[in-house]
Structure 1
């Protein structure tokens, strides 16, 4: 059991609260940095190809106590705010549009040669390391490398290979997560290669359902916390300050603002205490992997 390897009882509930999209824009960077400073969340993941990555990397290098992983990025989903690959190629790759940006959908990643994917992922990791970011884990924007959202093909074996090379744990839940196609053989492969990964993955809804308002973000969070299973769970979400910058990027800004507030909310913090949920970091998993 992972919990026992980390020094806890097998029946204890351990939680990593991870903010995705560090580096996407300044509004998101500043919100995530403030949550890390307060201890309201335990980790974040950096999007290296994004326009505000340098600000995020500078924050991470100034705060080595912050838990910062890498959000491997091969898609660019917004219409008016784009980013593209770090690597170049003589011919247009399937994940690139005619302007050299990443495409919006995961299917474009699935059509790309694995060697080109590997080069791009390695370039993103190496760039973060050169900028002084002490990476704690790997995960993946929009789950494109996991075959999520109708991609039809995964690159999880490549992710495992990168985790072995860089001695990093991986967002690969041992138990099924609705967004990711589950393949027990990949779980067994990660185990056999010594890669550490959480037992469960949970996420706050990315957008509101019809009839919902932003208060539903808190309702979802409370329900998730009360129903956590024993073991290690990573909970992912996308907090940000609301600014004209963020409003110009995405119409999901009301949810992102509420997600900034939710783990600062006294009621949510009280649930964590009453349910005796232990907050841990990806760094704990990384240390376990490197020590083993």
Structure 2
């Protein structure tokens, strides 16, 4: 059985997933990773949260689920500011936000309970990276600067957001990022993704996840480049596809799917007609994305170029 390895990089919009032979060697893995950046030998490959110089070469075997990082710099200078204090040290680009935060909290003598209410924010922006993000994805330069700020997830009492973020870090979602969808960002309560259609186009979605996971999500087609609803003449079309992506239904504010919060209202018959598509909180957001992806693989889909 093949195994997945997850790769982050400054060069990627989202996590890349490699499907590997279980007996792959470190040299072959390195070559596969370099192929993601056009075999640019300026890139080095780093293990997540490891500082050792040997890195991949020191491994006896490649473990399933291993998390790696491709970057053109061996070290990044990281500065963290908090309450008038400023600390700095170098990290490998494969270092997670989680590890940087733990280091900062320890050095700044922040208690565990207080640290739980704080998160790192990129200085001069409102960007607050998830804790499993590698710092190398945030810059092509040699340094990063963060402010340690109060977490809205704690003071805002939004456990639904915390559950969604956990689901976004799980293997099923990340594996889907390989070919089926692209994760852009989470701006609570909205998740922004693009689903890959049969003809190769990427159909953007803005997904409202309020009440997650007990309440089903609901989505609207989205123009990620312009940060606005997708023009209705650009919606996917053709047979069943047009039933799900129907701009005339609910004024184009939702998808006509049994797992959609808006669509399920008034469709009690779907409970026995489409049981596999009824929202299941245990399957979570991946269920919704899989349902949309399946629709966009239909041979009834009219090619975008047609």
TM range (shorter): under 0.3
More relative contact order in 1 or in 2 (CA 8 Å, sep 6+)? 1
Q: Which has the higher helix share?
A: 1
Bigger Rg, structure 1 or 2:
2
